[in-house]
Amino acid sequence: MLKVNYNASKLKGEIIIPPSKSMAHRALICAVLSGEACKISNIDLSNDIIATTQALTAFGAKFDYNSNSREFTVTPFSEVANSCEADCIESGSTVRFMIPIAAALGINATFIGSGRLPERPLDIYEDLLPKHGVKCKTSGGLPFEISGKLEAGEYILPGNVSSQFISGLLFALPLLNGNSKITLSSSLESKSYVNLTVQMLKRFGIKITENETSWEISGNQKYQAVDYTVEGDWSQAAFFLAMAALNPSKDKIYIKGMDMNSAQGDKEAVNVFRKLGLTIENSDDVLTVYNPKFAESFAGLAGFEIDAAQIPDMVPAISVCAALAKGETRIYNAQRLRLKECDRLLAMQQAINALGGNVEITEDGLLIKGVEALIGGKANGENDHRVVMALSAAALRSKNSVVVTDAHSINKSYPSFFEDYIELGGVANVINVG
């Protein structure tokens, strides 16, 4: 078990943002489902990516990772497993993507996981899959057992659940013999993540017809092997935008590796942090970020209302900045954050308040009243990578050290986070507490 001590510092320099975990999941899946070997480049071995490769290996695929070039050589199935156990570790994307894929391949599979993953809801599949030829056995969450082979047809589900259910079906349905349709019974949240899936499917030769509330998927399609390079991760870039907003210095931070034309929904970070008061200039794949009002009260930042329905992963980073912005910030449409690696609304409220902030939980989000500086102290990381990383920015405007538990959780998505933070001039002392 690790904890991290963050201390006040001034940041400057450049950072290369790690590759998008969301895009990496999707590229690896499409590569496995294609007919020939291909290379997926610019991938970090975070725990979530390891979970996806583990599950696909259990299905019968092969992966060879070159740590120097950060490149996977992916060998598709020579023979699909009849049955297997797939350990999804703590990755919600992995388990929700893999269940329908295994069903489409006719694999009798048992999905297991650790941490909070066994508690995360899978009732959508428990309801849908038996209507389409697949038996499910679960006591609620994981372990989740399936048997039988998925059948084509219409899949009706609500849009206000995790988009991962929709993406999982989109990967699987092109493999079936007949045509299928996914229809939403309510408006879609986190739409950008479904857009990422459709974009990746098209890159690998799969045709999807998109309508306003549905997707039509022809059966008997073939994934085509292509080499693919994963772009930078906008959800991780948000942590460095938060640091720049709270940086007690006029020095600039240069964020490299970002695609301004990306389909990632968290690209909205640029607009959100500009509204808070951060200056963001972009040229090619480099963002130049700084706070020209860093020396003013409340760091020259001002709160406002933020709809988090399409950007849930950004809420931890945003909430830390809002805690130190003048006035009130209301984050709404964020109720699904209660079902992440932890209850992120509760985690951020408790962490920020423990450090001297003023945060209230609302029915669907957070109400944050800004303070000019935090006192510091100890906050619980709740075994959540995004909570631990977000609190690094809090230390920049804190009178005393910020001590955060569960520092090991960054390995879920960004194993080199502390090194990159220190490279910019941040102070992060990681301590093993047994």
Which CATH number fits the domain that encloses residue 369?
A: 3.65.10.10
pLDDT in tens, 56-67: 999 999 999 999
Same domain, 189 and 96: yes
What's the pLDDT score for residue 284? 81
What's the pLDDT score for residue 101? 98
| Amino acid, res. 1 | M
**396: which DSSP letter?**
G
What's the pLDDT score for residue 423? 97
Same domain, 96 and 204: yes
What's the pLDDT score for residue 433? 85
Report residue 237 as tokens. 């870039």
Confidence check: pLDDT of 434 > 80: no
Same domain, 169 and 263: no
Confidence check: pLDDT of 187 > 90: no
Q: What is the DSSP string of 160-210?
A: TS-HHHHHHHHHHGGGSSS-EEEEESSPPSSHHHHHHHHHHHHHTT--EEE
Same domain, 387 and 366: yes
What's the pLDDT score for residue 60? 96
87: domain range? Answer: 21-210
Q: Which of 48, 87, 266, 313 is catalytic?
A: 313
Confidence check: pLDDT of 359 > 90: yes
Confidence check: pLDDT of 298 > 80: yes
- Could you tell me if residue 221 is inside a domain? no
Number of domains making up the chain: 2
- Could you tell me if residue 78 is inside a domain? yes
Same domain, 35 and 9: no
Confidence check: pLDDT of 35 > 90: no
- Could you tell me if residue 227 is inside a domain? no
Mean pLDDT to the nearest integer, 151-166: 94
Confidence check: pLDDT of 377 > 90: yes
What's the pLDDT score for residue 8? 95
Same domain, 62 and 112: yes
For the whole model, what pTM was predicted? Answer: 0.93
- Could you tell me if residue 225 is inside a domain? no
Confidence check: pLDDT of 23 > 80: yes
Q: How far apart are CA 40 and CA 73, in angstroms?
A: 7
| Amino acid, res. 56 | L
Closest to 414 (Cα-Cα) out of 20, 120, 10, 89? 20
Q: What mean pLDDT, rounded, does the chain reach? A: 96
- Could you tell me if residue 224 is inside a domain? no
Same domain, 52 and 7: no
- Tell me if residue 313 is catalytic: yes
- Could you tell me if residue 283 is inside a domain? yes
Same domain, 259 and 394: yes
Helices (H), 260-395: 269-276, 315-322, 344-354, 385-394
Same domain, 363 and 248: yes
Alpha carbon distances (Å) from 377 to 211, 281, 357, 384, 426: 50, 34, 11, 18, 17
CA dihedral 132, 133, 136, 140 (to 10 degrees): 10
How many residues belong to the chain?
434
Residues 6+ apart with CB under 8 A from 413: 21, 46, 47, 48, 236, 385, 386
Confidence check: pLDDT of 360 > 90: yes
Same domain, 167 and 270: no
End-of-domain residue from the set 179, 210, 241:
210
Closest to 276 (Cα-Cα) out of 144, 370, 171? 370
pLDDT in tens, 280-289: 999 888 999 9
- Could you tell me if residue 192 is inside a domain? yes
Same domain, 25 and 13: no
Identify the band that residue 160 occupies on the pLDDT scale cut at 50, 70 and 90.
confident
Identify the band that residue 226 occupies on the pLDDT scale cut at 50, 70 and 90.
very high
What's the pLDDT score for residue 1? 85
Residues 6+ apart with CB under 8 A from 67: 45
- Could you tell me if residue 296 is inside a domain? yes
Scanning the structure block, which residue is given the tokens 């090991």?
408
What's the pLDDT score for residue 189? 82
pLDDT in tens, 98-139: 999 999 999 999 999 999 999 999 999 999 999 999 999 999
Mean pLDDT to the nearest integer, 225-253: 97
Residues 6+ apart with CB under 8 A from 408: 1, 2
Confidence check: pLDDT of 429 > 90: yes
Same domain, 371 and 420: yes
What's the pLDDT score for residue 67? 93
